[in-house]
Amino acid sequence: MSTSSSCQSSTLKIGIIGFGPFAQFLAKTMIKQGHTLRATSRSDHSQLCQDLGISYFRNAITFLEADNDVILICTSILSLPEVLKSMPLHGLKRQTLFADVLSVKEYPRDLLLKVLPEESDILCTHPMFGPESAKDGWKDLAFVYDKGCRMLEMSCEEHDKMAARSQFLTHTIGRVLSEMEIKSTPISTKGFESLVQLKEVTVKDSFDLFSGLFLCNRFAKEELKNLEISFEKVKLKLLDMMNVRQDINDSNL
């Protein structure tokens, strides 16, 4: 999508692979920006596409033949290999920029390098927001490319390292809080309310996304371990205090 910054006044023909909630969210903004959209996906989204003014292709071959300037990959992380395998990507008639918006970066880059014709351009992007967090607009939210939000360039490795410590960690804590079934209480502090909010936003995303953040980011395992070790440290500090302050259990006033 970085190409759009070099042709500010022109519009692009953008083909979208995978038309789940995140693709729909992006599509609405891209339509407003005047681009022409077409989409294909494994589930049938023809009615929704018709409503939005997007050409929907059930057939991958005709989708690829539709003269796309950019093909935007919006599948789930876990389904990416299968989806790519099902498309005759070597039959592409023109040079195309492939951009993905997956939440891990080394994994799709490596897959795309493997399956795309050599002349294709690849842009690995990660919008750091979703339908929930950007419902009031993209402004100032980080995107690892597009105009209209804060743009950042980094290596896929750098991205994955940083995302494991931030996005994956956040999802893990959201899932743990969901297992605990935390709920607002009449005496919630602001801090606790932010955790309830975090839990609610996290579980709106699929478990497949969460699994993908873990399985397809080689830095995630280390951060999960880190979280576990840090929890153990805090627990030990509390248990130590329990020994130091035996008096409290004895209430020896």
Q: 189 to 208, contacts with a second copy by CB under 8 A?
A: 189-192, 194-195, 197-198, 201-202, 207
Strand order in the sheet with 121-124: 55-56, 36-40, 13-17, 70-73, 97-100, 121-124
User: Among 142, 147, 157, 222, which residue sits at the site for a second copy (rule: CB under 8 A)?
Assistant: 142
Least distance to a second copy, CB of residue 113, Å? 11
The answer to whether the beta carbons of residues 100 and 73 sit under 8 Å apart is yes
* Per-residue interface string for the shown chain with a second copy, residues 120-139, x marking contact by CB under 8 A: ------x-xx---x------
For position 241 contacting a second copy by CB under 8 A, the verdict is yes
Distance CA 130, CA 118 (A): 32
3-state secondary structure of 123: strand
| Burial category of 195 from C-beta neighbours within 10 Å (exposed 0-12, middle 13-18, buried 19 and up) | middle
Dihedral (C-alpha) 240, 243, 244, 249: value to the nearest 10 degrees?
Answer: 130
User: Among 51, 118, 119, 179, which residue sits at the site for a second copy (rule: CB under 8 A)?
Assistant: 179
Number of residues that bind a second copy (CB under 8 A): 77
| Binders in 31-50 for a second copy, by CB under 8 A | none
Instruction: Return the number of the residue (60 or 195) whose C-beta is nearest a second copy.
Output: 195
For position 113 contacting a second copy by CB under 8 A, the verdict is no
Could you tell me which residues come within 8 angstroms of residue 38 by beta carbon, excluding any fewer than 6 positions away? 13, 14, 15, 16, 54, 55, 56, 57, 63, 66, 68
Least distance to a second copy, CB of residue 122, Å? 15
3-state secondary structure of 142: strand
Sign of CA dihedral 175, 181, 185, 187: negative
For position 235 contacting a second copy by CB under 8 A, the verdict is yes
Least distance to a second copy, CB of residue 111, Å? 6
Instruction: Return the number of the residue (119 or 247) whose C-beta is nearest a second copy.
Output: 247
Least distance to a second copy, CB of residue 78, Å? 7
| Binders in 147-176 for a second copy, by CB under 8 A | 152, 154, 159, 162-163, 165-167, 169-176
Interface stretch with a second copy, choices 30-38, 78-86, 89-97, 117-125 (CB under 8 A): 78-86
| Burial category of 188 from C-beta neighbours within 10 Å (exposed 0-12, middle 13-18, buried 19 and up) | middle
